[in-house]
Amino acid sequence: MNTKIFCDIADISLIKKFNKKKIVKGFTTNPSLMRKAGAKDYKSYSKQILKICRNKPISFEVFADDQYSMIEQGKKINSWGKNVYVKVPVVNSKNKFSGYVIKELNDKNIKLNITAVYTANQTAKILKVINKKTKVIISIFAGRAGDTGKDPIPEFSKSIKLAKKFKNVEILWASVREPYNYLQAKKLGCHIITIPPTVIEKIEKFGKSFNQLTIETVKAFLVDSKKSNFKIL
């Protein structure tokens, strides 16, 4: 499995930089990243991003919390570009499954990225309401699950198995915590992994031997001890 790397970012200067990298096959954003990047107007900021990212897939998320508004926002976001995926949370803040929203948008041939997924049961519910033609990404949050002491790997394995019946569905490893997650995602057979810029840069440096790492680590400790002028008298 050749797991595609997407860059998880909304900062325009970083999108310019990472859009040039061959290793980066697409982008994902969310309202939190947009806010962090300083976006004031969601639509105009997204269109600025699309002027840079013209060919690679990019996800923009709806932020409404009721089904009707989510559908309306999804239609508008879809109209911004042919490379746009409309990002829809699997449930709203009241824990109501977004199945109606997903079906309505997907039936209109709108590409979707279903986000905030944690379980294979959620994946199964999503697969019941989509069509078998229009592209759908299912984003499973590995890092956030791991942060709470839960192993996300079994949920990925089951979800990937379920999605095999759908040629239009891709499973995405979300909420990366370290570069090694990329190798885990590849081993599992994830179609995509979305990664923050700093971690992508570390992945580009893969290949160092354990001996190199040992020497680099010891040298770093030595440099810091000298800079601090440490002495044991």
Calculate the CA dihedral of residues 133, 106, 51, 42 and round it to 10 degrees. -160
CATH superfamily of 4-208: Aldolase class I (3.20.20.70)
Spot the catalytic one: 87, 158, 186, 187: 87
The single-letter DSSP state of residue 3 is: P
Query: Would you call 53 exposed, middle or buried from its count of C-beta atoms within 10 A (0-12, 13-18, 19+)?
Result: buried
At 206 the pLDDT is 94
Tokens of 132: 């078998």
Rounded to whole angstroms, how far apart are CA atoms 214 and 199?
20
Rounded to whole angstroms, how far apart are CA atoms 205 and 177?
17
At 194 the pLDDT is 98
The low-confidence residues of the chain, meaning pLDDT below 50, are: none
Q: Give 87's strand partners.
A: 61, 113
The single-letter DSSP state of residue 222 is: H
Rounded to whole angstroms, how far apart are CA atoms 117 and 129?
15
Residue type (1 letter), 11? D
CB neighbourhood size of 115 (10 A): 23
Quote the distance between the C-alpha of residue 164 and its chain's center.
Answer: 20
Domain ranges in the chain are: 4-208
Cα distances (angstroms) measured from residue 75 to each of 44, 49, 96, 116, 145: 16, 18, 20, 20, 31
At 1 the pLDDT is 65
Q: How many CA atoms lie within 13 A of 57 on its CB side?
A: 19
CB neighbourhood size of 124 (10 A): 13
Q: For residue 87, indicate whether it is catalytic.
A: yes
